[in-house]
């Protein structure tokens, strides 16, 4: 109705430093109420074309600025986002369903830090030099920005992951066209409002909102976009790889995971249990790094399970804006159904649900009855071959199984198509080193989870991705290297 649509937030694309309306829009839902609260441009080829043109036009000036000039602008942008941190956190929580606490303490602070981090790190790179005295030659390398970068990000950590791409891309002197997830576009749009004030010239950062299949694909297929940095599912990455192949594009692909936690009988359970509950259920389990297969050594299995379930049951599900809530709403109705179906499949296969979906009752506040909520769910007695142990669920569901030996658990942990992150819990240093080395995983955390130094490479093996991101890795991805030889 007219009265209803008046209250809706309407986003516009940001192209060449200006907000531009789109000819059609998509509804965006508030996951904690099930209401449409926002309309997002349904961009396609035309909008992408304009954005790429604007980015191309801005490239010569932006790429010839000194790293220090660009760094100052990135720092200014970080300050402006930080100044509005609470507003950004509220928006992220409402748009995504995540708790306000998570948005306040993780998402938005990290988005701010992404800009500060690359503003600093970009000043410290050096290139290589080598001498060949016998032939009187000196070789050296130069790195130059590539051009217009296409950036595609998912819905789970919206501003956090988008800025993890924008910051290094523009710090290195590229200009960008970004396409956030259609379901979580609000904070990207809010950031666009700050770009001019930060001193980002028009056309350096363009944001085109819309669906992956339309706007995303137009960006991937655009001949003037030589590199694509993508974070999302393995399935979409396969499609992007296919579509970009005719153009020989440079791709960075950060994809899904099926992350194991391996808990040996000498683990410090007082640390391990709360951390593993967090690694399983943080952000509703909607983090690519979340644990979803817990392997516990037989001797401590029953004690672990008892304490783990008791701890999981303490996690409060409810209105994301309530600061005492630990688990917010899942991203969409479809996603909630998909996650619940995994639990049903496991039960049908004979697995046992120890707590959560189907066994405990979920009491929600009156305003949240139509929201997409689900209790943290722990499943035991699941076979390694079952879908719940092989496929990424991406929700608040984790499986617990027992193991006997180090050799056995390494093999079982590696028997999935993914290889993103693993955690190992043991007080035996030698064992920790041995196991970490043999796990097929881009990241291994021992006796901790989600501790990141942005200087170091981030990314996955096998179906979890291609390429790494981090200070040096992002610099290499977002620049073109050239070897120059001088004979004297
Ligand atoms: P997704 O469906 O692959 O979508 C990711 C992005 O790609 C969205 O912006 C999506 O747009 C767009 N897209 C979809 N189809 C496209 C196409 N054909 N061409 C170009 N772009 C296209 O993933 P998601 O469901 O949003 O995110 C969850 C997945 O991301 C999980 O698998 C998770 O593990 C992974 N993830 C990985 C990392 C990591 O660092 N490794 C981090 C976070 C998440 P629309 O959504 O608007 O359609």
Domain containing residue 277: CATH number: 3.40.309.10
| Contact by Cβ (8 Å): 438, 461 | no
**Domain for residue 286, yes or no?**
yes
Q: Based on the fold, state whether residues 143 and 278 are members of the same structural domain.
A: no
Residue 179 Cα: closest atom of ligand 1: 9
In a shared domain, residues 392 and 313: yes
Residue with the smallest CA separation from ligand 1 atom 30 is 232
Distance (angstroms) between ligand 1 centre and the Cα of 232 equals: 3
Residues 276 and 350 grouped into a single domain: yes
The answer to whether 345 touches 374, Cβ cutoff 8 Å, is no
Residues 274 and 192 reside in one and the same domain: no
pLDDT at 419: 98
Q: Which atom number of ligand 1 is nearest to the Cα of residue 256?
A: 34
Q: Do both 55 and 174 map to the same domain?
A: yes
For the chain, the average pLDDT equals 97
180 and 267 together in one domain: no
Choice among 92, 254, 392, 469 that is catalytic: 254
For residue range 108-146, list pLDDT tens digits in order.
999 999 999 999 999 999 999 999 999 999 999 999 999
* Position 5 pLDDT exceeds 70: no
Residue 459 lies in a domain: no
Distance 153 CA to ligand 1 centre (A): 6
CA of 13 from ligand 1 middle (Å) equals 20
Ligand 1 pocket test, candidate residues 236, 441, 467, most atoms within 8 A of CB: 236
Of 13, 233, 332, best ligand 1 pocket probe by most atoms within 8 Å of the beta carbon: 233
Same domain, 181 and 246: yes
Per-residue pLDDT at 7: 78
**Whether residue 245 is found in the same domain as residue 279:** no
Mutate to test the pocket of ligand 1, among 47, 95, 215, 232 (most ligand atoms within 8 A of CB): 232
Helix (H, G, I), strand (E, B) or coil at 263: strand
Chain centroid, CA 465 distance in Å: 12
Q: pLDDT digits over 362-417, tens only?
A: 999 999 999 999 999 999 999 999 999 999 999 999 999 999 999 999 999 999 99
pLDDT tens digits for 185-208?
Answer: 999 999 999 999 999 999 999 999
**Ligand 1: centre distance to CA 39 (Å):** 20
Q: Which pLDDT tens digit goes with each residue over 36-94?
A: 999 999 999 999 999 999 999 999 999 999 999 999 999 999 999 999 999 999 999 99
Comparing C-alpha atoms, which of 202, 203, 224 is closest to residue 150?
224
3-state secondary structure labels for all residues of 270-302: HHHHHHHHHHHHHHHHCCCCCEEEEEEEHHHHH
> For residues 377, 379, 384 and 387, what is the CA-based torsion angle, rounded to 10 degrees?
-50
Confidence band of 4 (pLDDT split at 50, 70, 90): low
Task: Show the ligand 1 pocket: residues with CB < 6 angstroms.
Answer: 152-156, 161, 179, 181-183, 211-213, 216-217, 220, 231-233, 236, 239-240, 254-257, 288, 392, 394, 420, 460, 465
Asked if residue 278 and residue 181 are part of one domain, the reply reads no
Q: How many structural domains does the chain have?
A: 2
Q: Is the pTM of this model over 0.85?
A: yes
Residue 414 domain flag: yes
The pLDDT tens digits of the residues spanning 224-257 come to 999 999 999 999 999 999 999 999 999 999 999 9
The two beta strands, 25-30 and 35-41, are antiparallel
Share of the chain above pLDDT 90, in %: 98
Q: Is residue 17 part of a domain?
A: yes
Q: Which domain holds residue 367?
A: 259-446
Instruction: Note whether residue 1 is domain-resident.
Output: no
Does 120 lie in the same domain as 216?
Answer: yes
Is 3 a residue whose pLDDT tops 90?
A: no
- CATH no. for residue 160? 3.40.605.10
Query: Which atom of ligand 1 is closest in space to residue 465's alpha carbon?
Result: 41
Residue 123 has φ and ψ, to the nearest 5°, of -80, -10
Give the model's pLDDT for residue 6. 57
How many CA atoms lie less than 13 Å away from 305 in the CB half-sphere? Answer: 20
Backbone phi, psi, residue 112, to 5°:
-60, -45
Q: Is the pLDDT of residue 268 over 80?
A: yes
In a domain, 357, yes or no: yes
- Co-location of 30 and 148 in the same domain: yes
Q: Is 136 helix (H, G, I), strand (E, B) or coil?
A: coil
Active site residue 131: no
Q: How confident is residue 166, by pLDDT bands cut at 50, 70 and 90?
A: very high
Residue 455 lies in a domain: no
User: Would residue 418 count as lying in a domain?
Assistant: yes
Residue 1 has pLDDT above 70, yes or no: no
Q: Which band of pLDDT confidence, cut at 50, 70 and 90, is reported for residue 488? A: confident
Query: Are the CB atoms for 372 and 29 separated by under 8 Å?
Result: no
Whether 327 and 353 map to the same domain: the answer is yes
């Amino acid at each position: 109705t007219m009265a209803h649509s008046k209250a809706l937030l309407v986003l516009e694309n940001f192209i060449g430093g200006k907000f531009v309306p789109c000819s059609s829009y998509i509804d965006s839902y508030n996951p904690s109420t099930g209401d449409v609260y926002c309309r997002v441009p349904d961009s396609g080829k035309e909008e992408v074309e304009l954005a790429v043109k604007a980015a191309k036009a801005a490239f010569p000036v932006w790429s010839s600025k000194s790293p220090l000039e660009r760094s100052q602008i990135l720092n200014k942008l970080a300050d402006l986002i930080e100044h509005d941190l609470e507003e950004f956190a509220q928006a992220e929580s409402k748009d995504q369903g995540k708790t306000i606490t998570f948005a306040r303490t993780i998402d938005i602070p990290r988005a701010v830090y992404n800009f500060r981090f690359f503003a600093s790190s970009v000043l410290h790179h050096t290139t290589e030099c080598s001498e060949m005295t016998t032939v009187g030659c000196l070789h050296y390398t130069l790195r130059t920005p590539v051009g217009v970068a296409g950036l595609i990000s998912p819905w789970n950590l919206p501003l956090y992951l988008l800025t993890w791409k924008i910051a290094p891309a523009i710090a290195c002197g590229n200009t960008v066209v970004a396409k956030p997830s259609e379901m979580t576009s609000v904070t990207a749009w809010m950031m666009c409002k700050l770009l001019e004030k930060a001193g980002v010239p028009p056309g350096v950062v363009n944001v085109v909102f819309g669906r992956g299949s339309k706007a995303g694909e137009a960006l991937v297929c655009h001949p003037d976009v030589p590199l694509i940095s993508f974070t999302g599912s393995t399935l979409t990455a396969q499609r992007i790889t296919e579509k970009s192949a005719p153009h020989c594009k440079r791709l960075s692909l950060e994809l899904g995971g099926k992350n194991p936690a391996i808990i040996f009988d000498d683990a410090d359970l007082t640390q391990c249990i709360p951390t593993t509950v967090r690694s399983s259920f943080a952000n509703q389990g909607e983090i690519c790094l979340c644990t979803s297969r817990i392997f516990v050594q037989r001797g401590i299995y029953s004690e672990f399970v008892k304490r783990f379930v008791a701890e999981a049951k303490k996690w409060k599900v409810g209105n994301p804006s309530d600061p005492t809530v630990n688990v917010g709403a899942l991203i969409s109705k479809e996603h909630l159904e998909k996650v619940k179906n995994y639990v049903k499949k496991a039960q049908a296969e004979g697995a046992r649900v120890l707590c959560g979906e189907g066994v405990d009752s979920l009491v929600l506040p009156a305003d949240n009855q139509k929201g997409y909520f689900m209790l943290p769910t722990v499943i035991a007695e699941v076979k390694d071959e079952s879908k719940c142990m092989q496929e990424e669920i991406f929700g608040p569901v984790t499986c617990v199984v027992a193991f006997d030996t180090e050799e056995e658990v390494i093999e079982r942990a590696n028997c999935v198509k993914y290889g993103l992150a693993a955690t190992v819990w043991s007080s035996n240093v030698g064992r920790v080193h041995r196991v970490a080395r043999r796990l097929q995983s881009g990241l291994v955390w021992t006796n901790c989870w989600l501790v990141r130094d942005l200087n170091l490479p981030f990314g996955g093996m096998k179906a979890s991705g291609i390429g790494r991101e981090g200070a040096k890795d992002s610099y290499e991805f977002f620049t073109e290297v050239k070897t120059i030889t001088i004979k004297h």
